[in-house]
Chains A and B, each alone.
Chain A
Amino acid sequence: MTPRRTRFYLDKQNGKFLGVCAGIADYTGIDVLLVRVGFVLLNFATGFFGGFGLIAYFVVAWLADKKPRELDYEDREDRKFWQKVRARPANSIRDVRASFRDIDRRLADVETHITSQNRRLADEIEALR
C-alpha cells in the first residue's frame, strides 16, 4: 500500500508506549496530553466492561502501521496543514488557492513598482534630451 497523508499511523517517535495516543493526536491535531488523559478516563469509565479500551488499544496498535519516514512533516505549519486536510479537505484546497492568490497579488505589486520606476527613469532620460 502506498503511504498516504490521510491515513492513520502509529507515531512511535512521540509515543509513550505503542504510539496509539500520539498517533491519534498527530492525526487529529488534538493535544497529545488531552488524548492520553481522555483515553485513561474512558478506560476507567468502561473498566466495568472487561477493559474494552485496553483491548481496543492493542488491536489498533496491531492493525495500524508505523508512520513511514517519507511522511515526516517538514515543520509545524506542514503538520497543521495536513491535520486540516484530514478534517476538512475542501477547506484546505480553498486555503491553497487563497495562498496562490496572495502570491499573485504580491507579485503584481512588485511588478507595478518596478515598471513604474522604469517609466520614471525613461521620463528623466527623455527630459535630458
Chain B
Amino acid sequence: MHEALIPIAVCAILFIGLPWLIFHYITQWKKNGSLTVEDENLLDELHALARRLDDRMTTIERIVAADSPSFRPALRDEHEEDFELPRSPERTVRTRRREH
C-alpha cells in the first residue's frame, strides 16, 4: 500500500508542487520588483530633468564665480566627475551615427 503511494506522491510534488512554488515566487517578485509603465516614464523624465537642472546650475555657478571671486561653489562629490567626463565623446559618436 505504502509502496504504491510513493511514486504518486513524488509525481505530485514534481509536477504540481514545484511549478506552483516557482510561479508563486515569480509573481511575487514581479509585483514587488518592477516599475509600472507610468512610473518608468516618470522616472525617465525626472532623471532627465535632474540632469538638465544640474547642467544649468553648473553654468550659473560658473557665471557667478566669474563675476565675484568671493563666491565658491560648494565642493562636489566625486561621482559627479563621471557625470561630466565621458559625456562628450559618446555624444559625438551618437550624433555622428544619426547623421549617417
On whether A4 and B43 interact (CB within 8 A), knowing A99-B50, A110-B61, the answer reads: no
Query: Is B53 on the interface with A (CB-CB < 8 A)?
Result: yes
- Could you say which interface size class chain B belongs to? 20 to 34
* Chain B residue, CB-CB nearest to A117: B68
Which of B33, B68, B71, B73 is A89 in contact with, Cβ under 8 Å? B33
Query: Is B91 on the interface with A (CB-CB < 8 A)?
Result: yes
Bound together, the chains give a CA A81 to CA B43 distance in angstroms of 11
Which of B35, B39, B53, B86 is A103 in contact with, Cβ under 8 Å? B53
Which of chain B's residues have a CB closer than 8 A to the CB of A119?
A: none
Q: Of A34-42, A46-54, A69-77, which binds chain B?
A: A69-77
- Is B64 a contact of A5 with CB atoms below 8 Å? no
Which of chain B's residues have a CB closer than 8 A to the CB of A72?
A: 94
- Is A6 a contact of B86 with CB atoms below 8 Å? no
* Chain B residue, CB-CB nearest to A5: B40
Bound together, the chains give a CA A103 to CA B73 distance in angstroms of 12
Known pairs A76-B86, A92-B43 / 17 extra A-B pairs, C-beta < 8 Å: A5-B40, A74-B91, A74-B94, A75-B91, A76-B87, A85-B35, A85-B43, A89-B33, A89-B34, A93-B43, A96-B43, A96-B47, A103-B54, A106-B57, A106-B61, A113-B68, A114-B64
- Is A103 a contact of B57 with CB atoms below 8 Å? yes
